Structure 1
């Protein structure tokens, strides 16, 4: 056990050091998905996990769900829909702060009912295209607005992100939709208003820039594919929401996969759609599952968990969630903490604790690049299309004040309610 603990620790240090050094050191400048693949390889090569254990650790439901959402996002991009929306979004704005607000608010509202990972995949290409629609526009503040928007907006609904869905199902809390809205709607709305003001302060040098839009005759290049993808997306969302409301408990991954299959079956541009899928992010997730499995089975995560306050108080839950999410990302963190909290006596009726876990683990994504999968999706999608890159340090410097404010508002509200 001691050997596996040391080997897993080394793998984690190497993996996250490579991610942290991106944009700081050219010598160690490797993409996040490559860094995670290196970590997974070390876990297997050193025997921390066997090849079969590594394969079994990959959550196929998550991979299939993301692949399906990426397929729809790819179809919207190939059809020209995202370019069209980007142009309309930019052309209706005269100042950069208007555009930042539109991206932030629209992504936050949509992430309440659409998985934030899928929304990040759909919006990032649109934002990169906006840089082509306006002269000299710096899209990096818009990408930060997207990252913060999909994170904060997704807090208040069980279907906003994967970790919330896990909590809603596994914790046993009564009427999860009602509970999430009752406990998290007000602080989420407050956080949206405060975070927008914070972004204007953080990006004050660019927020007052005028936007000079290139006047072009922008049209969809494939309206049929665009309409197909949009209809499928709406059907997926409606079916999943209805399923949760009436208690059908339909498999989200299966529903999304059926939708993606229909897109491939009915479109004659299926090859373009498939090749444009964000494969790098899927590889990142597979590596993340293997690295997380190694950290868990070796005892590293157990050590870290016991070094932090026990998740039996709201303060302990917030601290553990925010810190551990920076090590293994928030979805695996919640998956590991659900049985731990249950074993420590946190029951279904202790709604404050469960929604506290949802809020803290989600807004942890605003602190660092690896705190949330949506951040990685935005990073990978931006780099794939020649957009700006994020360094770990830069994201952290912006993320510290945003996360402190977000966490304080959620914590204070849940203590008072």
Structure 2
């Protein structure tokens, strides 16, 4: 209900209203509200927003888009490259990172290739949510499963259980989007007609942002190597985010303009979400629902994860459910079902994944958006298919 009469509400305004309501009504104390805000997440997102804004402002992002997708000749091929490209990248880089960088990229592609912006926004959202399932660093809840369970060699464990169903699930996303949007497509892409002139590149900022991307890739690679060798994550995500942003902050003459232009509204959304979710958490309502649910059945874990993640953030849900599975004697397969279910829950509704919110906020700042119903029209059937894929691949026929 973001449109009420003449009034239109942004997602961050709705979430902020919820947070203010629980504070005013005394559902959470101000000190507890401050403590509930996850500083690690806020710092990481801030760093990634700085890198993303510098990428867009320098013109290097447009150049990357042209290079990455220049081989696509038809809309179906471009859709395939977007889904599998971003999907596989999200297993190596946190999906929120790709949401920040990818949104302006796919919007530029939509304009240049005369494709519906909603199509490529949905493709990006489903790709980075689904692709992040296959890795312990693809999203925060996977990382929590790997760390809280004491899992050895988490990259190997996640890949051996979830890589195949994730690839199949990305294929399902391509098929469903192709089916819903195939009408009106031309057989070939018109890459130039109607395209705006390429933005004037800032060579100095481009050089700096390349350094930022190099830092991001090197530190993420170090985390992957450390996990394979020691089974632990070496570098915390806030450190990676800030390290990637530092070249822009320290050396760019446009640092002030970049800092003014980053998506502060989304940071407000996350701070408000942490406060609201903490208030919900303290009621104990969802803990009682999760505690009475079966935790030894893969289908039940998948279903419970998807349903409850629509009402509370999937990260606190996983924090609750992981010890329940371990206490019930559930092994690796059940933990993988928890990781998969809590992640693909983001394909049901916009609020099911933080990366969805980032995409919508970024798109709305550029004049595009997706409604809840537009998202669910494709997200619900896609999620049902993906649940079947993960259930079968995790040993349930």
TM-score w.r.t. structure 1 length? 0.87
- Assess, with a 3 A threshold, how the Cα gap between structure 1 residues 356 and 258 changes in structure 2: closer, same or farther: same
1:225 correspondence with 2:203:
no
CA deviations over 1:192-221 (Å, ceiling 9, x no partner): 223211221121224546432227677632
Task: Report the more deviating stretch, 326-335 or 182-191.
Answer: 326-335
Any residues of structure 2 matched to 1:150-169 within 5 Å, and which? 150-169=128-147
Query: Equivalent residues in 2 for 1:123-142 (5 A)?
Result: 123-134=102-113, 136-142=114-120
Determine whether 1:243 maps to 2:226: yes
- What is the match of residue 362 of structure 1? 343
CA distance in 2, matches of 1:84, 1:26: 42
How far did 1:231 drift?
1.7
Deviation at 1:337, TM superposition (A): 2.1
- 1:169-318 equivalences in 2 (<5 Å): 169-208=147-186, 210-214=188-192, 220-222=201-203, 223-247=206-230, 249-306=234-291, 309-318=293-302
| Superposition deviation, residue 30 in structure 1 | 0.8
Aligned to 2:42: 63
CA distance in 2, matches of 1:217, 1:263: 22
Change (3 A) 1:209 1:30: farther
Separation in structure 2 between the aligned mates of residue 150 and residue 123 of structure 1, nearest angstrom: 10
Give the alignment of 1:74-93 within 5 angstroms. Answer: 74-88=53-67, 92-93=71-72
CA distance in structure 2 between the aligned counterparts of 1:186 and 1:90, rounded to whole angstroms: 25
1:72 pairs with 2:55:
no
SS in 1 for 2:150: coil
Tell me which residue corresponds to 2:391.
Answer: 411
For residues 391 and 41 of structure 1, what CA distance do their matches in structure 2 show? 24
2:49–2:100 contact (8 Å) kept in structure 1: yes
Residues 1:36 and 1:295: Cα distance change in structure 2 (over 3 Å) = same
- Name the SS of the counterpart of 2:27 in structure 1: coil
Matches within 5 A, 1:390-401: 390-401=370-381
TM-superposed deviation, 1:271? 1.2
* CA distance in 1: counterparts of 2:198 and 2:348, whole angstroms: 40
Task: Tell me how far apart the structure 2 counterparts of residues 163 and 217 of structure 1 sit (CA, whole Å).
Answer: 38
Q: 1:394 to 1:26 in 2, by over 3 A?
A: farther
Structure-1 separation of matches of 2:290 and 2:185: 41
Shift of 1:189: 1.5
* Greater mean deviation of Cα atoms: 250-259 or 207-216: 207-216
| Gap change, CA 1:282 and 1:94, over 3 Å in 2 | same
Q: Counterpart of 1:339?
A: 323
Please state how far the C-alpha of 1:244 moved relative to its aligned partner: 2.4
The whole-number CA distance in structure 2 between the counterparts of 1:179 and 1:90 is 32
Contact 2:69-2:78 within 8 A present in 1 as well:
yes
Change beyond 3 A, Cα 1:108–1:317: same
The answer as to whether partners of 1:97 and 1:208 remain within 8 angstroms in 2 is: no
Report deviation, 1:90. Answer: 5.9
Asked whether the equivalents of residues 240 and 252 of structure 1 are also in contact (C-alpha less than 8 Å), the reply is: no
Name the residue aligned to 1:17.
none
Instruction: Say if 1:365 and 1:372, in contact at 8 Å, map to a contact too.
Output: yes
Q: Secondary structure at the match of 2:176?
A: helix
Q: How many residues align?
A: 390
Q: CA deviation at 1:330?
A: 2.0
Which residue in the other structure is 1:7 paired with? Answer: none
The offset of 1:335, in angstroms, is 2.4
Give 1:364-383 correspondences, 5 Å limit: 364-383=345-364
User: Structure 2 vs 1, CA of residues 357 and 130 (structure 1 numbering), >3 Å: closer, same or farther?
Assistant: same
How far, CA to CA, are the matches of 2:5 and 2:149 in structure 1? Answer: 44
Q: Deviations over 1:151-197 (max 9, x none)?
A: 11111111111111111111112221111111111111222223211
What value does the CA root-mean-square deviation take over the aligned residues? 2.2
Q: Which moved more, 1:233-242 or 1:84-93?
A: 84-93
- Measure how far apart 1:230 and its partner are: 2.1
What do the CA deviations read for 1:319-360 (whole angstroms, capped 9, x no partner)?
110001111232232123223434x4245xx00011110011
Q: Distance in 2 between the 1:120 and 1:160 partners?
A: 12
